[in-house]
């Protein structure tokens, strides 16, 4: 009996069964995160909906760099909203719980980067490595923090008046002249898009980013 089990274990049939096992048993490919530097002081960690200011360098598997925000374009770091697939899913997954000043190396499989098709200078089925440096974290425009800031009477919904006051403040902060027509247009757009149940208020669920499956 024992012998037959041993034989069965070492037989190609068994290997075949294991290799062709049900898909759900195979762990899904994920991002490999290597923290290269974490600052001693970390007041806040990045989370879904936050705005992140990042420098990044991207490399192919052979070590060739295909992009660097420090070298290409305007050579400035860029803002990214975390968790809404603004860039690639691998970034949304690999940049969570990160401190300002932290540096990470992300190894991202094709399925979480540019997939089977590739894009631009990224060939099909490319596994990519990114060196990321997080410089700053801010509340995303549709974060729960922004919602609370806008909800002046704390009734957990935003009236048109509350959103308008916030817009006026934003205009002032950005040094833009008050423009009532423009603000009314923006308000119309916001409520048209976000007020799903058309009750004239934005609930926190309506206002904040929808959490997609990543």
For binding to Ca ion (CB under 5 A), which residues are involved?
Answer: 151, 153, 155, 195, 197, 199, 201
Closest to Ca ion by CB, 29 vs 170, is: 170
- Shortest separation between residue 196's beta carbon and Ca ion, angstroms: 6
In whole angstroms, what is the distance from residue 214 CA to residue 205 CA?
A: 19
Closest to Ca ion by CB, 57 vs 206, is: 206
Closest to Ca ion by CB, 125 vs 146, is: 146
Closest to Ca ion by CB, 166 vs 201, is: 201
- Shortest separation between residue 210's beta carbon and Ca ion, angstroms: 14
- Shortest separation between residue 85's beta carbon and Ca ion, angstroms: 25
Q: Residue 50: which residues within 8 A CB-CB, separation 6 or more?
A: 81, 82, 137, 138, 139, 140, 143
Closest to Ca ion by CB, 85 vs 193, is: 193
In whole angstroms, what is the distance from residue 187 CA to residue 210 CA?
A: 20
DSSP sequence for 58-106 = EE-TTS-EEEETTTSTTS--EEEETTTTSS-HHHHHHTTT-BTT-EEEE
Residues in a beta bridge with 131:
57, 105
- Shortest separation between residue 143's beta carbon and Ca ion, angstroms: 16
- Shortest separation between residue 15's beta carbon and Ca ion, angstroms: 57
Closest to Ca ion by CB, 92 vs 151, is: 151
Q: By C-alpha distance, which of 78, 76, 83 is closest to 46? A: 83
Q: How far is CA 102 from CA 6, 43, 143, in A?
A: 50, 12, 22
- Shortest separation between residue 147's beta carbon and Ca ion, angstroms: 9
Q: Residue 4: which residues within 8 A CB-CB, separation 6 or more?
A: none
Query: Exposed, middle or buried by CB within 10 Å (0-12, 13-18, 19+), for 53?
Result: middle
């Amino acid at each position: 009996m024992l012998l037959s089990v041993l034989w069965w274990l070492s037989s190609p049939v068994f290997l075949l069964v294991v290799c062709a096992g049900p898909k759900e048993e195979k762990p899904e490919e994920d991002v490999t995160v290597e923290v290269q530097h974490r600052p001693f002081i970390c007041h806040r960690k990045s989370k879904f909906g936050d705005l992140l200011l990042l420098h990044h360098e991207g490399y192919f598997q052979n070590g060739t760099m295909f992009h660097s925000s420090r070298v290409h374009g305007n050579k400035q770091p860029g803002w990214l909203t975390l968790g809404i697939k603004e860039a690639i899913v691998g970034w949304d997954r690999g940049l969570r719980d990160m401190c300002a000043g932290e540096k990470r190396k992300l190894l991202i499989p094709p399925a979480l980067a540019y997939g089977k098709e590739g894009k631009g200078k990224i060939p099909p089925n490319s596994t990519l490595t990114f060196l990321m440096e997080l410089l700053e974290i801010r509340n995303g425009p549709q974060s729960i923090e922004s919602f609370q800031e806008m909800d002046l009477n704390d009734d957990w919904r935003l009236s048109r008046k509350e959103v308008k006051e916030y817009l006026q403040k934003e205009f002032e902060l950005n040094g833009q002249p008050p423009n009532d027509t423009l603000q009314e247009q923006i308000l119309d757009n916001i409520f048209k898009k976000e007020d799903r149940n058309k009750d004239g208020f934005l609930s926190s669920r309506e206002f904040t980013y929808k959490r997609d499956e990543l």
